[in-house]
Amino acid sequence: MDIIDLIKKSIETKIGLLNRFQIQSIKSAGEEIIKSLAAGNKILIAGNGGSASDAQHFAAELAGRFIHNRKGLPAIALTANPSIITAIGNDFGYDEIFVKQLEALAKPDDVFLEFQPVGIL
Give domain status of residue 49, yes or no: yes
Give domain status of residue 88, yes or no: yes
Contact assessment for residue 9 and residue 25, using Cβ atoms and an 8 Å cutoff: no
* Structural domain that includes position 40: 3-115
Domains: count for the chain: 1
The Cα–Cα gap between 23 and 40 comes to 26
The Cα–Cα gap between 79 and 82 comes to 7
Length reported for the chain: 121
- Could you tell me the CATH number of the domain that includes residue 30? 3.40.50.10490
Give domain status of residue 30, yes or no: yes
Give pLDDT tens digits for 24-77.
888 999 999 999 999 999 999 999 999 999 999 999 999 999 888 999 999 999
The predicted model scores a pTM of 0.82
Give pLDDT tens digits for 85-107.
999 999 999 999 999 999 999 99
3-state SS record for the chain? CCHHHHHHHHHHHHHHHCCHHHHHHHHHHHHHHHHHHHCCCCEEEEECCHHHHHHHHHHHHHHCCECECCCCCCEEECCCCHHHHHHHHHHHCHHHHHHHHHHHHCCCCCEEEEECCCCCC
Give domain status of residue 121, yes or no: no
